[in-house]
Structure 1
Amino acid sequence: MLAEQGLSHLIQSLNVLYLLIGAVMILGMHAGFAFLEAGTVRRKNQVNALVKIIVDASVATVAYFLIGYPIAHKVFLLKPAADYLPTQGLELVRFFFLLMFAACISAIVSGGVAERMKFKPYITAGFFLAGIVYPLFEALIWGERFSPEFQSWVKHNFGAPIHDFAGSMVVHALGGIIALPAILLLGPRMGRYVEGKSRPIPISNIPLLALGSWILIIGWFGFNVMSSQNIETISGLVAVNSLMATAGGIIGGTLFGKNDPGFIHNGALAGLVAICAGSDIVNPVGAFVIGLVAAWIFVKAFVYEQEKLKIDDVLGVVPLHGLNGLWGGIAAGIFGQKFLWGVGGVSLLSQIFGALLTTVYGLSAGYILYGTLKAIFGLRLSEEEEFQGSDLSIHHITAYPEERIKF
């Protein structure tokens, strides 16, 4: 009896540590989001890129603790500290882990609206994204509030529940699709399109962009592997599939992007976005193909979005996260089949339905949220503020203040 109690206590302790490590790894990913954006935007907007992500994470923490987590999982965290001791705070670290997923939504949107959005409506949107918009969708696919009944309905009608192991659709596609209405409501940056002609704004700092990509790649193994949320179900298959999708994305970015460093480093992220959904059920060869296709989707859709549709999505978050998140969800329904060496138990129809649901919900939520904020606060910096740069206009300092000092 004592041995069983000791073993149970050890497993509980390991689960707490397991989720805590995963949460911290994903927290580190937010530094990756920040540096990826700082390296992409112009020098006059680098401070704002860094500030937005760190404030986002803090605002999301409050919103998800008080509102979002209870909505999705029917667990209220406002109770005496002593109540957490019997389980060693397992529910708290689960909140911490899932909070990091919620905070990704604003971080994704940030890259699309960069260089011209006001700070107040941006941060206000982040509160509602983490507190209401994301948790309602999370509750439908993953959470305890709506998921059992909804997924049972999906299984009855399409053959299997919607499978999204680590959030290709629930996190990435949703964030990328929510970003689209915000980008359209803002309009393009000054000088991006002149008299109907595209004038691309070059990446400001390749080393910072590369650093952001590397930080995201490393943290993503916590994002994917720890999504099991239990050390007894940890899977080396998830880890290797994440690695293979990364390789596929990088090689695809190199080939389809014609050696462009921006496409190469973002190709890695495209592969990782796409593999999240099926990382626990596809074969490593399938994971590589998923990553390769994801890089192709990103390169082609980014160019089409920017040059043909003239949508000024600064970091390409709609194709990178939105389209590749949808591709990842559908790919799980293809490469997860047993005849393609997958684990099985997944329905392509269910995955397509999940992708359509994500698209409709994301577009609706994005237009309602950012349309409301535009009516109340306005979304965009003035022309003078945008010309000066958000660093000086909002934060009253640049990333390189010594350059402004005359010795």
Structure 2
Amino acid sequence: MPEINSAVESLLQSSNTYFLLMGAIMVFAMHAGFAFLEVGTVRHKNQVNALVKIITDFAISCIAYFFIGYWIAYDTTFFSSAAELSANNGYELVKFFFLVTFAAAIPAIISGGIAERAKFYPFLIASALIVALVYPFFEGIVWNGNYGLQDKLKELTGEPFHDFAGSVVVHAMGGWLAFVGVLLLGLRHGRIKDKRLVAFAPSNIPFLALGTWVLCIGWFGFNVMSAQAVEGISGLVALNSLMAMVGGIIAALIFGKNDPGFIHNGPLAGLVAVCAGSDIMHPIGSLFVGLIAGWLFVMLFTVLQKTQKIDDVLGVWPLHGLCGAWGGLAAGIFGLEALGGLGGVSFTAQLIGTVAGILIALVGGFVIYASIAKILGLRLSQEQEFQGADLSIHRIGSVNHD
């Protein structure tokens, strides 16, 4: 009997490790989606830079999170023998792989907002600092109970802050960090012509659409695998993610008036918003969450195109920052038993946790970006921006005309 129990435990541990590894691979693949979404949106002269930023940001994020960020969030380091690290089939190592793909999503989100006029190395340094310090600080509070703040919130409201897969921890944080960078960078040159504000059309709709499809597919690893163990698999999470995605598409189709850029960002808005409560909401509730998120993105991105202060190229602030915040609040609404949810959530706790995430992102982002701006500068020169980041930074364009 003990041998049977041991074999069952070993099989379960192996299954959990494999399950989480597949989730890590799916979320890792989402970074290709981030890359092609940006490539399809920016002008041709900045497409190479978009690709390079996403892959180098991932590498920098991995190093920063491995040595500092993961330690801050989970009080765990990798300064032990390989034998110790590989215990339990290396589950803890795969957990790091899974969570670093989340952490690296922060710079990938920011990349889309600051595109076409940002210096390369200063923003790589900013990415390292954000993933090492700002993101894991909030991540540890929410997902590891650091500093006892979740316990205090439960005492105050009856429930802790609930963010199952990162509407606020990942997406709102990334979107509001991007908001700071976008504000400090200012408008791209050429946005104002004859005293009128003009928009730059996406350069390649097929690439933009490819980015969306890759992100949508990977998102089911992002959400479902957030259970981090086989016994936690929930079909409810999968169906809620699907319904929110569909709701986002429909809202973007209607309110975006058939615009392909809006339509392909609609599903992402819905998926961003459903992350927090995907494990507790009813599928019909998730559909409404996605519909509202799709509408929010279209309306707010349209407003951004008319302001002379915020030039958010991919609309990452409305898509991730505001839809992520909506997701945090929505979990406290549609997760309630009265609206068909599983309960165990408090709207007050969701409001406090969401606002806290936004404030940490704003303060952390301002300190990092303002410091780097003063020391190294954040923006390309007007000549470099006119020439394009591809030639100015990487000395090669996306198409060779020779």
User: TM-score w.r.t. structure 2 length?
Assistant: 0.98
Structure 1 residue ranges (4+ consecutive) displaced by more than 3 angstroms after TM superposition = none
1:175-324 correspondence to structure 2 within 5 Å:
175-194=174-193, 196-308=195-307, 310-324=309-323
For residue 126 of structure 1, report the CA deviation from its aligned partner.
1.0
CA distance in 2, matches of 1:168, 1:196: 38
> What is the CA deviation profile of residues 38-81 of structure 1, one whole-angstrom value per residue up to 9, with x for unaligned ones?
00000000000000000011111111000000110011112111
Task: Write out per-residue CA displacement over residues 292-336 of structure 1, whole angstroms, 9 at most, x where no aligned residue.
Answer: 000000001111122146411000000000000000000000000
Could you tell me whether the CA contact under 8 Å between 1:335 and 1:341 is conserved in 2? yes
Q: Is the 8 A contact 2:49 2:394 kept in 1?
A: yes
Deviation at 1:197, TM superposition (A): 1.9
Structure 1 window deviating more from structure 2 (121-130 vs 300-309): it is: 300-309
Segment drifting more, 226-235 vs 186-195:
186-195
State the distance in 2 between where 1:298 and 1:386 align. Answer: 27
1:85: Cα distance to partner? 3.1
Task: Verify: 1:172 aligned to 2:171, yes or no.
Answer: yes
Check conservation: 1:71, 1:145, Cα contact below 8 A.
Answer: no
Q: Give the whole-Å Cα distance in 2 for the aligned partners of 1:306 and 1:139.
A: 36
**Separation in 2, partners of 1:355, 1:200:** 31
Alignment map for 1:6-405 (pairs within 5 Å): 6-143=7-144, 145-146=146-147, 149-194=148-193, 196-308=195-307, 310-401=309-400, 403=401, 405=402
CA distance in 2, matches of 1:193, 1:310: 12
- Structure 1 unmatched ranges of 5 or more: none
Shift of 1:270: 0.1
More displaced stretch, 361-370 vs 188-197? 188-197
CA contact (8 A) 2:134 2:360 kept: no
Pick closer, same or farther for the CA change 1:51–1:111 going to 2, 3 Å: same
Question: What secondary structure, in the 3-state scheme, does the structure 2 residue paired with 1:307 have?
Answer: coil
Distance 1:257 1:24 in 2: 33
The whole-number CA distance in structure 1 between the counterparts of 2:87 and 2:384 is 53
Letter in 2 for 1:362: A
Could you report, residue by residue, the CA deviation over 1:207-231 in whole angstroms, capped at 9, with x for unpaired residues? 0000000000000000000001111
User: Does the residue aligned with 1:22 lie in a helix, a strand or coil?
Assistant: helix
Partner amino acid for 1:63? A
User: Aligned in 2, Cα 1:80/1:395: closer, same or farther, shift over 3 Å?
Assistant: same
Partners of 1:72 and 1:144 within 8 A in 2: no
Q: Secondary structure, in 3 states, of the residue corresponding to 2:216?
A: helix
Letter in 2 for 1:220: W
What is the identity, as a one-letter code, of the residue corresponding to 1:42? R
Q: Distance in 2 between matches of 1:106 and 1:3?
A: 46
Matched AA of 1:67: I
SS at match of 1:117: coil
- What is the alpha-carbon distance in structure 2 between the residues aligned to residue 195 and residue 318 of structure 1? 27
Taking the aligned partners of 1:336 and 1:195, their CA distance within structure 2 comes to 50
